[in-house]
Chains A and B, each alone.
Chain A
Amino acid sequence: MPSVHSILNIGRWALFSSQTALQVTGNNIANVDTPGYSRQAVVFEEGISLDASCGQIGTGVYAKEVIRYFNEFIEEQYNTKASTQERWYTQYQALLSMDNLFNESMSQGINSATSQFWADWQDLSLRPEDYSAREALMGDTQNLLSAIRSTRNDIVRQQEQMDDYITQEVEEVNKILEEIAALNLQIQVHDIPGQNNANSLYDNRALLVRELAEKLDIDFVDSGGGDVTILTKAGHTLVDGSQVFEIKFEGSKTMKELAEGSTFDGEIFFDGSDDFEYTLEVVTGGQVSNASTAAVFRVSLDGGRTWMKDDDGNDLHYSARPEGGKVSVGDLTIWFGIDGDPSTAPANQLSAGDTFTIVPKTGLYWYENTSTCMNITPQIYGSGTDNQRRLIGGSLAGYFNFRDHYVGGYLEKLDAFAESMIWEVNRLHSQGAGLQNFNHVIGTYSVDLDNTALVSNSTGLAFGDKIQSGSSMVYIYSASTGELASSASYGPLDFGAAAGIQNFDPSQHSLEDVRDAYNRTFGNFLTADIVSGRLRIQSESGYEFAFGTDTTGLNAALGINTFFDGSDAATMGLNVNTESDLDLICAGHVNGAGEANPGDNTAALAIAGLQYEEVTIRTAFTGPTSQTLEEYFNVLVGTVGGDTANAEFNYLYHKALADDLDARQEETAGVNLDEEMSNLIKFQSTYTAAAKLIQAAEDMLQTILTLKS
């Protein structure tokens, strides 16, 4: 039997519902610009109907729950795209500064300084005895050196800046992970689906996940409520419900993975740093020793996809040495020791298949627990594809890729450019003659081991691998007359005590053998000795010496009679002897008569000719190429521009996709003021109508009450 009270009740519930709806609408309007806010709405549900004599009669309405409009499916897609977009955006922004650094469109730089350098050698060939030509060459060489050095320093500064950014980002990521885990916990407490939706907590979490996705690539696995798992795309769990796994940005590490059955008990050690990870694989088992029977390994810079090759395309093989015979591989020196004691050689043999990884740089690690970590530093293979088992998205990937792959690659190439320039110029210069002879010279390149074959990669000699067999001509003059001291005071060095003149044998001759060769061949006129790993030659009183054809490249490798010093962009400089004495710039050569004449421009012409000479330039990562030095640098500039343009393109492309997804989410979750406005009017009138209903019920009650009196 329907009663007036039930009408009052219906009115009351209708009032409450409209009021709730108005409040939600108001909240929507108020949060129209709040980031992360999703539009909410009230779900009305019809009250239960009561059986009455006239049949079922409704009991009004009640506000069942407040829901939020949010498309989880699009959000997941958006986050993936946003990671990619952010990665390219970060790379693009960082590369813009590289683009600027290598921009010579309007200003002078390495390219113009190199041009000037070759022009100066041409000028010197026109006036070989002219000090102003020599002075100009020196000055312009200094310009070139400072252009190379400052470019390199700027690049390195950018790399260091990346380290700062990465540190901040990692901190931020860990904080976000904590917050998400905390929110998960709260959601578990507050959320009762279909009744008490924790809308704002969900909004907050979605916002945090978006922030996280901008920093690294993630998968979001939602099992309902607070039970979500966030993993990196590579599968490393970051958040599992309320549990958090940390990522850390840490210094260089080495890892080993032994082949099945290997009993190797040592560790790998290294000196130096590089932007690439070195993967070493033992190809021939054996002891760690300085003997020729030592184990042999090969090296990869992209996790074992491609192996470092020599100029002929064969894998480069290195021997496993203890600390006393460290081998130079790329930018590192590597040796084997035992855990905690680098200077003791391990007792057990290395087996073929044993693999070691050196991360000679700061990297990103995912910690499964406090002791077990995995390397998730982004890595790009030589083919340009990403290592899918590492981070591949987000600003972190962008920073790492910029630091290691892009800038690391530019640095490698700049170093290779400098290295080739130094070697090619020195090789020709060391066979020339200046305006005066030497009575004393000391090499600029030093070796670590005086008695080890110079070409061995254990000597630490920068250009040791370039030395060939042959010999080196030396000419000795009387200091007083300037003529050859005697008919026997010139000729090739004799590298052996056996009869006849023995040639230099790269596979066995050490610095000590070179010293002995000088003393054996020209002991009457000069004395050679070794001073802290460098060769020193001093003439006996009354004599002077000069250098001629050198088919070995020994002089260039030891830094004798050279123009440049150093072995890469960072260390490139002038040979101090040449720098301090303009006479020692070699424009001429010792001719067939044993004379070095002031008008001779042979060496200057040869060096100037390098401008158009295709030389072999190699980096550990890209292998050898044959180009002129200028072209090589110009291609590097093009590469920087191409990388920047490519990053911009990718950024814009992925941004368009992400923006579209964001817009689609916004379509669902965004607040439309016009809509809210009409809702406002709608619920306001509902409210008014409900109030009218109550008034009507009241009137009815009054009517009934007046009946009584």
Chain B
Amino acid sequence: MRVSHRSRFTFFIDNMNMAMSDLMELNIQASSQKKVNRPSDDPVGMSRILNHRDTLESMGQYRENIETATGWLNIADEILLQVDTVITRLKEIAEQAATGTMGQDNREQVSYEARQLFGQLINIANTEYEGKHIFGGHKTDESSFVETLWMTTNDSNVAAAPFSITGNTEDTVLVRFLTDGDVDTDDLDYEYSLDGGKTFTQSTLAAGTNTLDLDGVLLTLTNGTTVSAHDPNISGSTDNGTWMWIRPTAQYMGDDQDSVLVDTLGPSTLNTAASGVFRENVIVRIDGDTALASNISYSYSVDGGVNWSSGHTSFSPATASSATLVVPGGYLTLTSNSGSLLAQGNQFVIRPQTGRIMFEISPGEEIQVNSIGKDVFGGIYQHPGSNAAGIVFGAGSQHNLFETAGNLVGYLETNNQEGIQQALENLRESNEHILNNAARIGARENRLQVADSVLQTLEYSETNQLSRIEDVDMTELMTQLASQQIIYETVLKSSSMIMRMSLANYI
């Protein structure tokens, strides 16, 4: 083979460059400690590195979410324990006061403590975490409970009819009617006491009016409510005319999630109702013109119509007048109204009232961190859109803590032993209810711990995998460096040797 002068030198330079560039590559790896320094070093590896980094980053975020959730739940847990302590003290008081051996004066004495404990309960229920009320549903910016007045009565006629109270009083007001009759129809004499029944003031509710003036407190009854007269010769309130105690209670101001609305999009006249526990809005779309009686094919979306889950058919058996469509969280019932036809494209938005605050603790997994105060503590509540408040869990419910405690205060202040006995019974129920809630929160805390340790393990394995793709193996690198050094030096040595050779040296 002829070797030309030019190609000799081209070879030398090429070989030296090649050996040197391999060395430089190793040098970069040594300085960054990474195998993959630019996407072209390992294109698939780089994509995977970025994916792993994203995952790691979001795991960090999930752990932060878990930390915040733990904060919420820990404080809820602690608070419910405090509530338990207060209830225990209330039970002690009630137990003492429920016995016949305690007189009116003693009851009055313990009533002061009971009223303070009641106030304390409201304070506790209004606890904030990071400036947010944890028992108010989504209404985190305002107090979940405010102290207000409510009425307890021994007369089922009065209890059944709505009433309203305005004004304020420091002590329980005891009201008794002195004549039989109907509100608004008859002139009704009544007497009221602001000092627990020691002294009474008499007054008359004239026909045509329905508001009792109780020295700073106005009690408005429903027209037509039948009341009966109190017989002063019989002691106690049992079967002895209409008695009313205007006593403290707590009104829930937060969010509830009791009802679900359904909006109809499109010209459908059908009546709609949804039942179930819905976390978010669910949209149902009818996919073909059909009658209620036949199988209705439909799709639903839980993300505002972005993604649709299609190919569902109605729940059988359907009747000519109603159909049930199963959707995530519950079902939608359609009943006939001015016809029973559905058109393709009719849509129904199931719109639940929401109060849960959910945190995402791992992809797709959410946990509730707050509570709906009224479902824990009871009290009274006025639903949005309704015009009057009512007792949470319904009148006569035994686990309504605020009502129980309010009644206890009322009975203690008015020296009503029977009432105190009932309140004591209810306190036990309420305590049970609170402890159930505490247990529920405790379970969530456990779930957080588990989720956190799972994340920790995943984080560890992600870091490991990332390192395996990305990080350089030091031993291997050092060996490669050493061998590359030898190559480079050999190339230099041999090139310089050949470079000097020429026939001209010998002639």
Contacts and interface: CB of A to CB of B under 8 A. Distances in A.
Interface of A: 32-33, 39, 95-96, 99-100, 102-106, 111-112, 114-116, 118-119, 122-123, 125-127, 129, 424, 427-428, 431, 468-471, 473, 487, 491-492, 498-503, 548-553, 588-589, 591-595, 597-602, 605-606, 608-609, 611-612, 630-631, 633-635, 637-642, 644-645, 648, 659, 663, 666-675, 677-678, 681
Given A640-B40, A677-B503, 17 more contacts: A119-B58, A129-B140, A500-B266, A550-B304, A551-B301, A551-B349, A591-B353, A593-B385, A599-B141, A631-B51, A635-B47, A638-B39, A642-B39, A644-B39, A645-B40, A668-B2, A677-B502
A668 B133 CA distance: 91
16 contacts: A99-B39, A112-B57, A115-B53, A118-B61, A431-B304, A469-B345, A473-B349, A502-B267, A548-B281, A549-B349, A551-B285, A593-B383, A605-B360, A630-B54, A642-B40, A673-B503
B351 interface: yes
A674 B503 contact: yes
Nearest to B39: A641
B507 A593 contact: no
B494 interface: no
A668 B2 CA distance: 7
Interface stretch (B87-95, B229-237, B255-263, B485-493): B255-263
Given A549-B304, A638-B44, A125 B360 contact: yes
Given A126-B65, A588-B138, A599-B370, A424 B6 contact: no
Contact of B43 (A33, A606, A641, A675): A641
Contact of A105 (B36, B51, B383): B36
Interface in B365-385: 366, 370, 383-385
Interface in B314-359: 345-347, 349, 351-354, 357-359
Contacts of A115: 53-54, 57-58
Contacts of B6: 32-33, 666, 670-671
A624 to B, nearest CB: 14
A99 B40 contact: yes
A122 B140 contact: no
Contacts of B476: none
A470 B285 contact: yes
B385 to A, nearest CB: 7
A605 B304 CA distance: 13
Contacts of A668: 2
B477 interface: no
B364 A428 contact: no
Contact of A599 (B54, B137, B257, B266): B137
Contact of B138 (A492, A550, A591): A591
B40 A105 contact: no
A667 B43 CA distance: 40
Interface in B436-455: none
Contacts of B264: 492, 501
Interface in B263-280: 263-269, 280
B34 interface: yes
A591 B354 contact: yes
Interface string B45-60: 0110111011001101
List the 8 shortest-distance A-B pairs measured between CB atoms, nearest first: A670-B4, A641-B39, A599-B140, A500-B267, A638-B47, A597-B138, A641-B43, A644-B40
B43 A592 contact: no
B31 to A, nearest CB: 11
Given A600-B354, A637-B47, A641-B41, A105 B34 contact: yes
Given A33-B6, A552-B305, A672-B2, A471 B347 contact: yes
Contact of B139 (A100, A468, A597, A678): A597
Interface string B79-122: 00000000000000000000000000000000000000000000
A674 B8 CA distance: 12
Contact of B265 (A470, A498, A605): A470
A593 B347 contact: no
Contact of A642 (B43, B285, B366): B43
Interface in B143-196: none
B37 interface: yes
Nearest to B11: A663
A126 B39 contact: no
A474 to B, nearest CB: 11
Given A105-B36, A644-B39, A549 B305 contact: yes
A601 B384 contact: no
B139 A598 contact: yes
Contacts of A594: 384-385
B39 A592 contact: no
A122 B61 contact: yes
Interface residues of B, number: 88
Contacts, number: 283
B303 to A, nearest CB: 6
Contacts of B394: none
Contacts of B303: 428, 606
Given A103-B38, A115-B57, A601 B43 contact: no
Contacts of A589: 281, 354
Nearest to A606: B303
Contacts of A674: 502-503
A671 B62 CA distance: 72
B352 to A, nearest CB: 5
A634 B4 contact: no
B497 interface: no
Given A427-B304, A638-B46, A471 B5 contact: no
Contacts of A502: 266-267
Contact of A609 (B49, B61, B141, B360): B360
Contact of A503 (B266, B280, B384): B266
Given A126-B359, A470-B305, A592-B352, A641 B61 contact: no
Nearest to B51: A634
Contacts of B283: 470, 549, 551
Contact of B345 (A119, A503, A612): A503
Contacts of A609: 360, 364
B7 interface: yes
A641 B42 contact: yes
Contacts of B36: 105
Given A552-B305, A597-B138, A598-B140, A608 B360 contact: yes
Given A428-B306, A598-B140, A606-B303, A666 B38 contact: no
Contacts of B46: 105, 634, 637-638, 641
A32 B9 CA distance: 12
B351 to A, nearest CB: 5
Nearest to A600: B138
Nearest to B352: A592
A673 B68 contact: no
Contact of A501 (B37, B54, B265): B265
A497 B363 CA distance: 45
B32 A670 contact: no
Contacts of B364: 609, 612
Nearest to B50: A634
A111 B304 contact: no
Interface string B6-18: 1100000010000
Given A592-B261, A601-B358, A671 B306 contact: no
Q: Which of A112, A498, A499, A638 has the most CB of B within 10 A?
A: A638
A105 B256 CA distance: 49
B132 interface: yes
Nearest to B366: A605
A492 B345 CA distance: 14
B410 interface: no
Nearest to A100: B38
B263 A473 contact: yes
Contacts of B40: 95-96, 99, 640-642, 644-645, 648
A645 B504 contact: no
B38 A611 contact: no
Q: Which of A104, A115, A648 has the most CB of B within 10 A?
A: A115
